[in-house]
């Protein structure tokens, strides 16, 4: 009953935000609290201190929230001072106003930038470079968000991206045993992302061709495209400090990849240094903070609201009940097919609950069961990574709020537009993994 109640809560939450009945930040707070209060009357056995549950969830996500707030402030500052202007000029020169080239360029840029394994960094750099071009061409910004998050989903499987390390630690295996056999699947999925970008480009090329001739200036120079973005904060440009700001940004990205310090601390330090170098005046610092406070507050608020949701989901034991239901629902006759079953479950489960809950709570149970049918833990671990493309669309993934905030669309709209393409990525990853032997479709002798 508790499991059914939990699935109902998640379904209600998703229905409310996807139909735009409630904003994500409101739904993340109101829905779990309402269900938890009603649940106290139905299930008296779980912890009754809702305040403690919620604060535990907030504390767990606090480092992520702080990191995203200062990441927004830092990269917003770098955009203001013009660090990414040469990159934008180079991209515009290459794409030359062609929607197909623009979309493919966006996909390739996102794939390259996301090599650091950090979704927030990928979203900010890619949108900073491509969004002015997309808007100038009057293209659909949902396509940019879709391609960028799918590219991030491919690289999220990197050992330093998070999920793979979680699988390895949960199953007590070497991370290279999980990751290396998945490289062909990642390459195939990256090719799918580029193909989707190509399809989007063709669709936009056809749509834009029907507009009046003066509606889109396909021959616009890079400086003209940059002008619209730079005009609103021309006083913030710091061309004389370009190399200093670029060095600071590259140093930050290097430190992020090397894990020199926690991400939140690195972004806080980098922001403080950048602010002192570029805007030594107190009034200028106040103006820059005000310029980006809206984005920072919106994303930070969503992260902490997500903490309420995850805190109640864990504290009320709903996560454990959901895991037990799914595990027990697999009949013995399906045991030899447990690897593809795990792959199929990874998409909805990492969407509805956190990666931590899935990989530390459910995957070890499935892996232990798989050993009875001749499926090794590393094979089960690889199968559990198939759903990461869908996972990134979850309202529990903080960086996704950053992407939709930068692009200027609602989370529900982004989910509706991107879901089918993300599922396509999961299918491509799954098929490639089966064909390359990363995990078996059916256990030997099954």
Residue 300 has pLDDT above 50, yes or no: yes
Question: Rounded to an integer, what is the distance from CA 134 to the centroid of its chain?
Answer: 21
Q: Is the separation of the CB atoms in 368 and 174 below 8 Å?
A: no
In a domain, 284, yes or no: yes
For helices 242-258 and 263-278, angle between their N-to-C axes, nearest 10 degrees: 170
Distance from the first to the final alpha carbon of the chain? 33
Cα separation of 133 and 225, whole Å?
7
Q: How far is CA 162 from CA 137, 317, 360, in A?
A: 36, 24, 13
Helices vs strands, H then E, count in the chain: 22, 0
| DSSP secondary structure code for residue 440 in this structure | -
Q: Is the separation of the CB atoms in 421 and 181 below 8 Å?
A: no
Cα separation of 357 and 348, whole Å?
13
In a domain, 346, yes or no: no
DSSP conformation letters of 204-221: HHHHHHTS-TTT--TT--
In a domain, 79, yes or no: yes
**Residue scoring higher pLDDT (308 or 364):** 308
Q: Which residues contact 121 (CB under 8 A, 6 or more apart)?
A: 71, 75, 113, 114, 253, 256
In a domain, 108, yes or no: yes
pLDDT at 117: 62
State the pLDDT confidence band at 399, using cuts at 50, 70 and 90: confident
pLDDT at 428: 96
pLDDT at 407: 87
Among the listed residues 110, 113, 91, the one whose alpha carbon sits nearest the alpha carbon of residue 101: 91
Residue 128: which domain range?
Answer: 61-304
pLDDT at 221: 45
| DSSP secondary structure code for residue 19 in this structure | T
Question: Rounded to an integer, what is the distance from CA 129 to the centroid of its chain?
Answer: 18
To which residue do tokens 């798989």 refer? 370
Residue 176 has pLDDT above 60, yes or no: yes
In a domain, 118, yes or no: yes
Cα separation of 277 and 409, whole Å?
33
Classify each residue of 88-118 as buried b or exposed e, where b means 16 or more C-beta atoms within 10 Å of its C-beta.
Answer: bbebbeebebbbbbbbbbbbbbbbebbebbb
In a domain, 254, yes or no: yes
Give the number of C-alpha atoms closer than 13 A to the C-alpha of residue 69, restricted to the C-beta side.
Answer: 20
In a domain, 51, yes or no: no
Q: Which of 95-109, 119-133, 283-297, 340-354 has the lowest mean pLDDT?
A: 119-133
Cα separation of 353 and 167, whole Å?
15
Q: Which parts of 259-360 fold into alpha helices (H)?
A: 263-278, 282-315, 318-329, 338-352, 355-356
In a domain, 413, yes or no: no
Q: Is the separation of the CB atoms in 144 and 127 below 8 Å?
A: yes
Cα separation of 391 and 401, whole Å?
13
pLDDT at 258: 77
**Residue scoring higher pLDDT (372 or 146):** 146
Q: How many domains does the chain have?
A: 1
pTM of this structure: 0.68
Question: What dihedral angle (degrees, nearest 10) is formed by the CA atoms of 276, 277, 282, 285?
Answer: -90
């Amino acid at each position: 009953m508790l499991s059914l109640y939990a699935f109902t809560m998640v379904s209600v939450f998703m229905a409310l935000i996807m139909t735009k009945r409630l904003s994500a930040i409101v739904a993340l707070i109101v829905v779990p609290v309402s269900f938890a209060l009603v649940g106290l009357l139905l299930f008296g056995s779980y912890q009754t201190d809702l305040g403690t549950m919620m604060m535990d969830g907030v504390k767990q996500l606090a480092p992520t929230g702080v990191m995203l707030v200062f990441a927004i402030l830092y990269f917003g500052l770098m955009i203001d001072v013009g660090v990414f202007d040469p990159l934008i000029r180079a991209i515009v020169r290459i794409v030359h106003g062609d929607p197909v080239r623009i979309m493919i360029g966006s996909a390739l840029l996102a794939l390259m930038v996301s090599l650091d394994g950090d979704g927030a960094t990928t979203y900010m750099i890619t949108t900073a470079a491509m969004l002015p071009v997309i808007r100038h061409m009057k293209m659909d910004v949902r396509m940019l968000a879709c391609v960028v998050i799918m590219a991030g989903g491919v690289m999220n499987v990197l050992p330093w991206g998070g999920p793979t390390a979680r699988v390895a630690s949960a199953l007590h295996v070497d991370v290279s045993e999980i990751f290396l056999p998945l490289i062909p699947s990642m390459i195939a999925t990256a090719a799918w992302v580029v193909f989707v970008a190509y399809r989007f480009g063709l669709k936009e090329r056809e749509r834009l061709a029907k507009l009046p001739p003066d509606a889109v200036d396909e021959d616009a120079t890079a400086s003209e495209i940059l002008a619209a973005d730079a005009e609103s904060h021309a006083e913030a440009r710091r061309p004389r400090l370009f190399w200093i700001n670029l060095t600071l940004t590259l140093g930050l990205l290097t430190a992020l990849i090397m894990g020199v310090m926690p991400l939140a601390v690195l972004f806080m330090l980098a922001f403080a240094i950048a602010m002192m170098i570029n805007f030594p005046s107190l009034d200028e610092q106040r103006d820059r903070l005000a310029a980006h406070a809206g984005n920072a507050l919106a994303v930070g608020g969503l992260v902490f609201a997500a903490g309420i949701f995850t805190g109640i989901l864990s504290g009320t034991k709903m996560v454990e009940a959901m895991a037990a239901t799914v595990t027990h629902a697999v009949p013995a006759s399906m045991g030899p097919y447990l690897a593809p079953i795990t792959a199929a479950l990874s998409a909805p489960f990492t969407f509805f609950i956190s990666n931590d809950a899935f990989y530390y709570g459910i995957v070890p149970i499935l892996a232990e069961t798989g050993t009875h049918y001749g499926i090794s833990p590393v094979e089960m671990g690889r199968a559990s990574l198939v759903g990461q493309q869908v996972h990134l669309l979850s309202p529990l993934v903080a960086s996704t709020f950053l992407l939709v905030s930068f692009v200027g669309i609602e989370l529900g709209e982004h989910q509706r537009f991107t879901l089918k393409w993300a599922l396509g990525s999961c299918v491509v990853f799954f098929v490639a993994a089966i064909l390359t032997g990363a995990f078996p479709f059916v256990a030997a002798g099954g």
